[in-house]
Amino acid sequence: MSPCVHHIRTTFTKYIHETQNKICQSLEKLDGKSVFEEDAWQRPGGGGGKTRIIRNGNIFEKGGVNTSIVHGKLPPEMQKQFKTTHDNFFAAGISLVLHPQNPFVPTTHANFRYFELMDSDGQCVDSWFGGGIDLTPYYLDVANVKHFHTTLKAACDSVQLGLYETYKNQCDTYFYIPHRNEMRGVGGIFYDYLRPNAPLQIEQLLALAQNNADAFLKAYLPIVAQNAQKSYTSEQKKWQEIRRGRYAEFNLVYDRGTLFGLKTGGRIESILMSLPATVRWEYNFQPEPNSAEALIIKHLQPIDWVHFCEHRAI
Amino acid sequence: MSPCVHHIRTTFTKYIHETQNKICQSLEKLDGKSVFEEDAWQRPGGGGGKTRIIRNGNIFEKGGVNTSIVHGKLPPEMQKQFKTTHDNFFAAGISLVLHPQNPFVPTTHANFRYFELMDSDGQCVDSWFGGGIDLTPYYLDVANVKHFHTTLKAACDSVQLGLYETYKNQCDTYFYIPHRNEMRGVGGIFYDYLRPNAPLQIEQLLALAQNNADAFLKAYLPIVAQNAQKSYTSEQKKWQEIRRGRYAEFNLVYDRGTLFGLKTGGRIESILMSLPATVRWEYNFQPEPNSAEALIIKHLQPIDWVHFCEHRAI
């Protein structure tokens, strides 16, 4: 039996374009000032994408909500990564990163992608889904983080119980900065190479992507709405920029997708739209003990946020 | 014959400490406001270093002039990199990076290091020198770049003719950002794994390191002195910060020393002192055609600066 089901490509492609529109509209409405600008691009080897960027908004300092549908010959580096001799591929994905102005509003990232591998006759030989959503706050608001994780758990649970826990652990493992011994943020969910059959059939994998992508706005927008009008000092902005330095360190040193794109001729500006607008590196910056800045650092570790007690001392 | 000569360790160690003092004093004098703060650190496995940081100066926004003398068991990652089964090492080095406030003053970087590898009886089995100096301007001043390269050429020539040309080419190759198809700056010199015998004996390798390190102030300080009082606009500062983004991209994605240090438990703050204080990433920023900003980009390619004609159109 072919590992591909005919309608998945078209269904997923249609879904991510609709989702791109829906997310951009919701974010524009919330921002109230800036709108997304679109750069449509073609890939020389086949396919292309729509990069949509928002900048200098009331709420969003810099962000992107991108889709790409690419196909053609698999570059040798990707053959090596996928451990395959086949070299025909199709890939569709939506990817977003949002960097808010206000340090009390967390940065967020989400990505959902579908991949097919074909033999030289064009017959499908492999297919898989990957994806994730995660949150990077600059200050800790336990209720916000619990809401974020609980929303993602509900989205995963509706496909199969236990998935959230697995993907949450994978997220904790993936978004980790070894040289800082801290996570990039407070996690979320992350999965890759999910092939149909075990534990999920192809329709469940599609539903998983859709449930999670649909959950994104429910998980993130209330957090933005609650914090975006808070006043902040220049010192708090500076703290946000220092923490953005860690975000850049993770993306440039460790993030597989970023490095892979940079080193295999991906569209550089679409890949690096994930980097914050302004970043600061101070030598050996240490937050004051027991400060709000020290508090968030303590929580950039694997924590069971769904069951986390708000009044627990850490 | 042992590939090590007894006095080289002590001579080089003494030399880099004197050079650290001399460079810091000269930079402080020029800056006129900020002084270097020293963090002395110990390495658990053996040895330690002196990290000296200057910040918020009249001229230098952020910089470091560091020395380290470390020894002990070679980490497995380094054994792998050096393709050796021996695991006793000694390494001494001086490393500096200077990020000026004024966008008309270039950033610079220099590094000189000496390495010995010993067998389990402590007998020396290998030794080599590595080093380099390079310049990263934000605006092009051809006379400045010619002065920088000519000074380095004189330092290399006094050891052996032809060395400058080889090390200059290696610098162009090394400080290259493939995903931007541009060099990090206008180059300088770069060499590594220079073992005694061919083409240079150990005393000549030592002289090469010393000549070049001595040339650093002669190469860089006149450029600083000439440009540090120039007035600049906030747009020019912004351009500097955007270009600093490229600097961070190179250091975090490609620089062997940075990645190696981050991934093998080096002292993070000493390694990442190379990153600029403030950095900016704008989506798809393109300088105006024929602007001063576009001009420097055109010159971030391998160019024979010593023989470059100032009035040549590029």
For the cut 70, the answer to whether the pLDDT of residue B219 exceeds it is yes
The pLDDT assigned to B6 comes to 84
CA-nearest residue of chain A to B273?
Answer: A283
- The 10s digit of each residue's pLDDT in A189-241 is 999 999 998 789 999 999 999 999 999 999 999 999 999 999 999 999 999 99
The pLDDT > 90 percentage for chain B reads 86
Query: What residues of B are labeled active site?
Result: 109
The pLDDT assigned to A293 comes to 98
Average pLDDT of chain B to the nearest whole number? 95
- The 10s digit of each residue's pLDDT in A87-99 is 899 999 999 999 9
CA-nearest residue of chain A to B283?
Answer: A273
For the cut 80, the answer to whether the pLDDT of residue A265 exceeds it is no
For the cut 60, the answer to whether the pLDDT of residue B142 exceeds it is yes
User: In B, which residues are within 8 Å of A241 by CB distance?
Assistant: 278
* Tokens matching residue A173: 């493992």
Asked if B277 and A279 come within 8 Å (Cβ–Cβ), the reply is no
Asked if A241 and B278 come within 8 Å (Cβ–Cβ), the reply is yes
The pLDDT assigned to A182 comes to 97
The pLDDT assigned to B199 comes to 80
Q: Which one of B177, B282, B285 would you mutate to disrupt binding with A, by most A Cβ within 10 Å of its Cβ? A: B282
For the cut 90, the answer to whether the pLDDT of residue A5 exceeds it is no
As a whole number of angstroms, the distance between CA B16 and CA B24 comes to 12
Positions of E strands within chain A: 37-42, 47-55, 60-73, 88-100, 107-118, 124-136, 176-177, 182-183, 187-194, 278-280
For residue B133, CA distances in Å to B113, B121, B156, B199 come to: 12, 36, 12, 21
Q: In this complex, which of B263, B275, B281 lies closest to A281 when CB atoms are compared?
A: B275
For the cut 60, the answer to whether the pLDDT of residue A102 exceeds it is yes
Q: In this complex, which of A262, A280, A284 lies closest to B253 when CB atoms are compared?
A: A262
A275: distance to nearest CA of chain B, Å?
6
- Helix B163-174 and helix B142-157, axial crossing angle in degrees, nearest 10: 130
The pLDDT assigned to B312 comes to 61
Contact of A43 with A72, CB cutoff 8 Å:
yes
Tell me the average pLDDT across A129-142.
Answer: 97
Helix (H, G, I), strand (E, B) or coil at B268: helix
Tell me the average pLDDT across B117-133.
Answer: 94
As a whole number of angstroms, the distance between CA A314 and CA B13 comes to 45
Q: How far apart are the first and last CA of chain B?
A: 52
Average pLDDT of chain A to the nearest whole number? 95
Contact of B67 with B93, CB cutoff 8 Å:
yes
Contact of B209 with B12, CB cutoff 8 Å:
yes
- For A179-203, the DSSP string reads GGTEESSSEEEEEEEE-TTSS--HH
**By a Cβ cutoff of 8 Å, what residues of chain A touch chain B?**
39, 53, 55, 62, 64, 178-180, 241, 245, 248-249, 252-253, 259, 262-263, 268-269, 272-273, 275-284
Contact of B31 with B65, CB cutoff 8 Å:
no
Q: In this complex, which of A180, A262, A277 lies closest to B179 when CB atoms are compared?
A: A262
User: In A, which residues are within 8 Å of B281 by CB distance?
Assistant: 62, 248, 272, 275-277, 279
Q: What is the pTM of this model?
A: 0.94
How sure is the predictor about B65, in pLDDT bands with cuts at 50, 70 and 90? very high
Q: What is the dihedral of CA A140, A142, A143, A147, to 10 degrees?
A: 90
As a whole number of angstroms, the distance between CA B5 and CA A133 comes to 57
Positions of E strands within A219-298: 278-280
Residue A120 or residue A191, greater confidence: A191
The pLDDT assigned to B4 comes to 85
Q: Can A109 be counted among the known catalytic residues?
A: yes
Asked if B283 and A273 come within 8 Å (Cβ–Cβ), the reply is yes
For the cut 90, the answer to whether the pLDDT of residue A275 exceeds it is yes
As a whole number of angstroms, the distance between CA B306 and CA B81 comes to 34
